[in-house]
Amino acid sequence: MIFETHAHYDDEAFNEDRNELLLSMEKNGIGTIVNIGADIESCKTTLELSRKYPFIYAALGVHPSGTGELNEELLTWLSGVIRENTVKTGGKTVAVGEIGLDYYWNEPEKEVQKKWFERQLEMAKEVELPVVIHSREAAKDTYDIMKALHAEETGGIVHCYSYSKELARDFLNMGFLFGIGGVVTFQNAKKLKEVVEYLPMESIVLETDSPYLAPVPNRGKRNSSLNLPYVVQEISKIKGIEEERIIEITEANAGKLFGIL
């Protein structure tokens, strides 16, 4: 079944039909979902979702745009919550994320983002979990920090990959997987299609970033994991591999990374 590695079902966009939507996943071929924390509050709601639904797992971390609220006390709290809720301790937290750098926005300032990206990478090593990386218009700094802090020791996913084939090779050499979602279906996504063509299937996982980035033919609408078959179709077309094999391989990739299948 399809393994969705990146969604935000605690988002208010799902307030009216969240339970109904999530209960429809299995019959539509969606077997596992990792819900992603983006700030301290969404880490709490992500944990709640993982406890309520057997097929939902949690990634806990602070998105670069939320790092302005971080301090050492909150990071200590986050680290403690993660330790108490890993699969090893009977919980369902499988990653630290999403963490990284986002220079598209001016706030918080770059040095603040870098500081907490580094601290959360260090935390991931301490709790022995992979990371989910968010990087937007910050390619060099993202890679340099990951290299300097030996992010290959945890591994993880570069979420919503948007950079060149050349940089993809560098992340590949670090052992990272690539989250491929709705953007790959966009007509103007030539660069990403080239990256997907280049990547070995063993380095690809499926994601939506729901409620954002819905694929064609639903571009501009609220996204959900139910749209992942469109992503599978596009990857199948690019790679020349049957859709069922795409699903099988990406599920195995995600399950191995997160240690849950």
pTM of the model: 0.98
Q: What is the pLDDT of residue 219?
A: 97
pLDDT digits (tens, 9 = 90+) for 70-81: 999 999 999 999
Residue 237: Cβ-neighbour burial (10 angstroms; 0-12, 13-18, 19+) = middle
List of domains in the chain: 2-258 (3.20.20.140)
Give CA–CA dist 99/116, Å, rounded.
Answer: 8
Please name which of 164, 46, 185, 174 lies closest in space to residue 121, comparing C-alpha atoms: 174
Per-residue pLDDT tens digits of the chain, which is 261 residues long: 999 999 999 999 999 999 999 999 999 999 999 999 999 999 999 999 999 999 999 999 999 999 999 999 999 999 999 999 999 899 999 999 999 999 998 889 999 999 999 999 999 999 999 999 999 999 999 999 999 999 999 999 999 999 999 999 999 999 999 999 999 999 999 999 999 999 999 999 999 999 999 999 999 999 999 999 999 999 999 999 999 999 999 999 999 999 997
